[in-house]
Amino acid sequence: MIRAQGGVWVPRSAWQAWPVSSQQASRPDRRLELQRRALASLASLPASVRELGDLFAGHGHELALVGGPVRDAFLGEAFHDLDFATSARPVETERLLRSWGDASWDIGKEFGTIGARKGDVVVEVTTYRTEAYEVGSRKPAVQYGDTLEGDLSRRDFTVNAMAVRLPELTFVDPHDGLGDLAEQVLRTPVTATQSFDDDPLRIMRAARFTAQLGFDVAEDVMAAMTEMAARLEIVSAERVRAELERMLTSRWPRRGLEIMVYTEVADVVLPELAELQQTVDEHKRHKDVYEHTLTVLDKAVALETGPDGPVPGPDLVLRLAAVMHDVGKPATRRFEAGGGVSFHHHELVGAKLTAKRLKALRFDKATIKDVTRLVELHLRFHGYGDGAWTDSAVRRYVTDAGPLLERLHRLTRADCTTHNQRKAMRLSAAYDDLEERIAALREQEELKAIRPELGGEQIMEILGIPAGPQVGQAYKFLLELRMERGPVGQDAAREALEAWWAERA
């Protein structure tokens, strides 16, 4: 037996008799399927979770599974996190979790959250709470609440405002999150304006859940996103970046970006993307760069590989590079005398804009470096099909890309969005040829680790010089020789080095 509406879980045979509102009745089959999935998922909860519910109840406290795990149970997805809400205050929660688990931690205690592990089961338990931003603060102020219903009312969206009480497994849904889950729409438990005013980061979460779940956003939520987008400026860059990362690595990142641009949230968070709309040319002299960018993102996602491939998805670096690869175009667009349009050096301008934006969003140095480099290199391939590259040029392409080569392959292929099938086939064939040449050269020369035939110690011995800048200059000369001529052998390298040294002398 499980409890459902009004507080009583009904047996499976009675599910079809559940009363539904006129709004919910539009998708009764969907509702029923969600209920079946939830029953199967909740039946698989580990026994230790039931024990935890008994423990809290035995000490006079409420405990409920809340938020994402409940939503995912209805969607039939595996539990990734087990988040609970409780009437117990953090000190009591910590005491109970220590007696239940093998280990516990209080890293989130200031927000009322205590974590614990028992075997393979990891849980986080948070005291019922409400939170809102104080004037001038970049962090939300937390206040503890007294009821589960009050705790659910402060959550971001109705689909995340459902709970299952333990240990009796009572389903609690005061805001009809199940109905919105069936309708695949994001609504807020309270008015959207109040919700976003309490925590402006929920504006970004709306975009993230659109990308993650593939859901639509209710009209009042979209209106509030537009009206209150500027409120995101009081949220720390780290929190905004975390939501942006989760959105971009979701299943449908394009949906999230589109809603951000449509509601003007991108003007605050990712203005370089929003500004691509300025390149729309009413005379159709060039393609719509904004739509092109979204298409490149879709194609790049499709080119990601499985976990054993060279670019396992979701790959944040590749996806960020796809989003940012043309952000230099608005600043470099020029209308030429003959009616053409140029964007000279937009890849270099775009790389600088990309680095600046990612730094502002507090991305880590490695991500900034890699994404910026891909933006800078994304045009390097163009022209390959017009004239054969020398082996030296191919080596430089590989060397300049370094560990980003496989991502660069995918970004370059994704960047071909032409509707001209003949041109698309020609570009694809040209890149196939380039990849084949890279593979052949790599096999011949171990291209991934190009080194001169003579190392630093040998250079010093041959030239009779001590360690210092001259050794580095000689090494660079030999590397250039290696790039230009391929493997020449140590004897030929020595002769070339001595001749170079004699000319300098």
Asked if 173 and 166 touch (Cβ cutoff 8 Å), the reply is no
Q: Classify residue 387: in a domain, yes or no.
A: yes
What would the pLDDT profile of 327-336 be if each residue is shown by its tens digit?
999 888 887 7
Q: State whether 66 and 189 are in the same domain.
A: no
345 assigned to some structural domain: yes
Q: Are 128 and 195 in the same domain?
A: no
Asked whether residue 179 falls in the same domain as residue 189, the answer is no
Co-location of 326 and 436 in the same domain: yes
* Among 146, 79, 82, 153, residue whose Cα is nearest residue 115: 82
Last residue of a domain, one of 183, 209, 237: 183
State the amino acid at position 80 in one-letter form.
H
Residues 231 and 172 reside in one and the same domain: no
Contact 372, 355 (CB under 8 A): yes
Pairing of strands 185-186, 216-217: parallel
User: What DSSP state is assigned to residue 144?
Assistant: E
**69 occurs within a structural domain:** yes
Shared domain for 166 and 191, answered yes or no, is: no
Residues 415 and 340 occupy one common structural domain: yes
> Model confidence at 2, in pLDDT bands (50, 70, 90)?
very low
Cα gap 341→283, rounded to integer Å: 11
What amino acid is encoded at 322 in this protein? A
What is the pLDDT confidence band of residue 365, given thresholds at 50, 70 and 90? very high
Q: Are residues 165 and 119 in the same domain?
A: yes
pLDDT tens by residue, 283-306: 454 568 999 999 999 999 999 999
Is the domain of 436 the same as that of 462?
A: no
Residues 206 and 97 in one domain: no
Q: Which domain holds residue 236?
A: 185-269
Q: Is residue 30 part of a domain?
A: yes
The CATH number that applies at residue 242 is 1.10.110.30
Q: Which of 183, 213, 246 is the last residue of a domain?
A: 183
Same domain, 129 and 36: yes
What is the percent of the chain where pLDDT is above 90? 56
Residues 78, 147: one domain?
yes
Summarize pLDDT for 209-225 with one digit per residue, the tens: 999 999 999 999 999 99
Question: How many distinct structural domains can be found in the chain?
Answer: 4
Confidence of residue 19 (pLDDT cuts 50, 70, 90): very low
Q: How far is 346 from 187, CA to CA, in rounded Å?
A: 40
Please report whether residue 274 resides in a domain: no
Surface-to-core class of residue 375, CB atoms within 10 Å of its CB (0-12 exposed, 13-18 middle, 19+ buried): buried
Last residue within a domain, chosen from 125, 154, 183? 183
Residue 112 domain-assigned (yes or no): yes
